[in-house]
Structure 1
Amino acid sequence: MSNPAPTTPESASTGNPKSKPALITIVSLLITVAAIVWFFGIETRFGGARDTSVFGWLRSAWNAETDYEHGILFPFVIIGLIVYQLKNLRAVAGQGSWLGLIAVLLGAVYYVISYRTFQPRIAAGGLPFILWGGAYFLWGWQVARILIFPLFFFWLAIPLPSFQQATTHLQLLATSLAHHGSGLFGVETRVVGTTILPVHGDWKPLDIATGCSGIRSLMALLMISSAWAYVAKIKLWQKALLFLSALPLAIIGNALRVISIFVIAEYGDAEWAATTWHDWSGLLLFYPFSLFLLLVLHSIFEGGLPWKKNSKRRLTRQTVKAKEESVFIPES
């Protein structure tokens, strides 16, 4: 007489196997409906218009005034991070867990609260819970564990209220660095508030506005450094340092950008420096400088250039696998 198979927590959490496919279909449908509501809206009343969806609000909030112009890149970065983990996701996909429905319910609560408080950013914050909980319910904890960062990475794309008020200190810091840094290149200036005036030069005073404070570059660099740290093959504390390095890099890089404007205005074409170079220096100077320093820091943690270290790892794994396959085990 055979003994009944012991009940494990995993098998107990799956419930009746006959009812599972139908429930999966229902929950998947609900998650799809929630995503449609999130993207297209059902009289959500956000932004003063009854037909504005959460995604519609986000698209309008990703602008220069909020310093979140880079927000439109987040969906593509998230998709890229998930594709990067696709092989691992397929390898660990298994039976789902009912616990995922708790996260789905929490995301729905976020949406209800946002509807009642007219705060679309709350609904935006709830979307990762819906998607993550759905993955947890359908494919289990191992898949959900891998998707924690790619999905909740979206929180960095949500514009914060009254965010520009935090730029005051960055404006003053950028003004001070530009003033003292320009002096190193022989450009004498004097400071009045956040305005820098030439002492001997024949160029118009330049104001360090909120856009020149570096906050816009900082937020974009935080997006880059966090995704970079996620895919880097380094220790957790090194990932944290790589992510946090965005703050000093943004301050230094922005200071160099502003200094270059004053140097060109002093020794070259002041009008070109204040217009063309001002508009393009972020793309041509700030980001190459910041990305290069991120690569330097990453290489220090890796002990060499990342792509060379990864090539060595792959070669080592292939060598070990070849040796294992070549081992002859005689029959007993």
Structure 2
Amino acid sequence: MLPCIPHFILSFITPSRSRGMTRRGPTQETMDLRTVGNPWMRLPWLVHFERRDICFLLFVTANVLWFRGPLALVLTSSLQDEYSQHYSHIILIPLLCVYLLYHGRAAIFARVEWSPLLGSILMAVGGAVSLGTEEPASEALDNFSATLLSFVMICWGAFLFCYGAQAFLAASFGLGLMVFMVPFPSFILDAIIGFLQRSSADAVKLLFSAFGIPVIREEFIFKLSNFTIFVAEECSGIRSFLALVITSLVAGHWFLTSWWARVLLVTVVIPLAIIKNAFRIVGLTLLANYVDPTYLTDSALHRSGGIPLFLLSLIVLSGVVWLLRRWECRPASMITR
């Protein structure tokens, strides 16, 4: 079964140092002796596979099996139309976390040590969260928030147990992104959607005024000459907002060094997502009002028109990253002037 495991998954959990000492691979003579009569040992990654790596894989495998029901439900539901607006990002988070750990493996696993006490405490807390959670009354994804949080905490505890505090801190960004696997509780999700809905409606009003389009607004209702629209919760743009937030976090981690630049980059996402969503609403409304009502009721532009605007938002976000990176590279004397 082991050869079926992708090499890139195994390689990121193969540290280069152990207990502050450099890991020394076996000599060629030793490798030749090991491989005699044992084809498994001809695999280079298996020669360097250590007890802590096997222990971590066993912890994670047991964790996945224990939570297999909620995990399968959340991952499959995130692909369904009913939930994809809010949770389509969930299925990509494990892959992103694995890649980030693989990408930073040299720094993460430079110093590793066993940390059974801290790891056990964190896993125990995660288990307590799971045991203290009542059985969900329905299969709504937000009912599994505590369950998935427990799964994530146990994964964190397993990593801390097997690789120690220094490796855990070095991998904190990749591990921290696992939080996005947890469905938002209803009160948090409703607050985010409500904010985006109100902000998008305000931005739509400003765009109509800037374009000189006569419109009557009644909270979320906009009445034009031939058409009336309602900025519903489905029009809040939360899916693209979450995608931009995750993208900005990763971009800040990779390309920026100062905490203020990373915070500023994530902050820029809020108005960027609102403006992007407002342009989409205004564009579809004008087409429906002056060209054909089906542009807003049943059209490919309505269903997929947000994709080009999202790509444009990524271009704008890239420009912001470039500006912040240039600002960070300026001499300190120039910044303080």
TM above 0.5, yes or no, is yes
Match of 2:272 among 245, 249, 264: 249
Alignment of 1:109-124 (within 5 A): 109-114=128-133, 120-124=144-148
Q: Which residue of 1 aligns with 2:160?
A: 136
1:170-209 Cα shifts (integer Å, max 9, x gaps)? 323322321331232243222234222212xx4x322211
Q: Which residue of 1 aligns with 2:282?
A: 259
Q: Which residue of 1 aligns with 2:326?
A: 303
**Partners of 2:321 and 2:164 in 1: how far apart?**
32
Give the drift of 1:259.
1.6
Give the drift of 1:165.
3.1
Match of 2:258 among 235, 241, 250: 235
**2:287–2:293 Cα contact (<8 Å) kept:** yes
TM-score by length of 2: 0.70
Q: Which residue of 1 aligns with 2:179?
A: 155
Match of 2:125 among 94, 106, 109: 106
Match of 1:57 among 73, 76, 79: 73
Report SS of the residue matched to 1:196. strand
Give the drift of 1:105.
2.1
**1:194–1:207 Cα contact (<8 Å) kept:** yes
Say if 1:54 and 1:192 are closer, same or farther in 2 by CA, change over 3 A. Answer: same
Say if 1:176 and 1:284 are closer, same or farther in 2 by CA, change over 3 A. Answer: same
Q: Which residue of 2 aligns with 1:165?
A: 190
Identity of aligned residues (%): 22
Q: Which residue of 2 aligns with 1:317?
A: none
Give the drift of 1:37.
0.9
Say if 1:115 and 1:30 are closer, same or farther in 2 by CA, change over 3 A. Answer: farther
**1:190–1:196 Cα contact (<8 Å) kept:** yes
Specify the code of the residue in structure 2 equivalent to 1:138: C
Residue segments in structure 1 that go unaligned for 5+ positions in a row: 1-9, 12-20, 41-52, 310-332
Specify the code of the residue in structure 1 equivalent to 2:112: G
**2:221–2:230 Cα contact (<8 Å) kept:** yes
Q: Which residue of 2 aligns with 1:36?
A: 65
Mean Cα displacement is larger for which, 29-38 or 247-256?
29-38
Q: Which residue of 1 aligns with 2:222?
A: 196
In angstroms, what is the RMSD of aligned CA positions?
3.0
Question: Are positions 1:97 and 2:115 aligned together?
Answer: yes
Equivalenced residues, count: 270
**1:218–1:247 Cα contact (<8 Å) kept:** yes
Say if 1:138 and 1:300 are closer, same or farther in 2 by CA, change over 3 A. Answer: same
Specify the code of the residue in structure 2 equivalent to 1:96: W
Specify the code of the residue in structure 2 equivalent to 1:155: V
Q: Which residue of 2 aligns with 1:6?
A: none
**Partners of 1:111 and 1:219 in 2: how far apart?**
26
Give the drift of 1:245.
2.1
1:13-61 Cα shifts (integer Å, max 9, x gaps)? xxxxxxxx989967764553222112x2xxxxxxxxxxxx120232355
Aligned structure 1 segments of 4 or more residues deviating by more than 6 angstroms: 21-27
**Partners of 2:153 and 2:170 in 1: how far apart?**
14
Say if 1:106 and 1:278 are closer, same or farther in 2 by CA, change over 3 A. Answer: same
Residue segments in structure 2 that go unaligned for 5+ positions in a row: 1-18, 21-49, 138-142, 330-337
Give the drift of 1:64.
5.0
Q: Which residue of 2 aligns with 1:292?
A: 315
Say if 1:182 and 1:57 are closer, same or farther in 2 by CA, change over 3 A. Answer: same
Rg: which structure is higher? Answer: 1
TM-score by length of 1: 0.71
Mean Cα displacement is larger for which, 244-253 or 54-63?
54-63
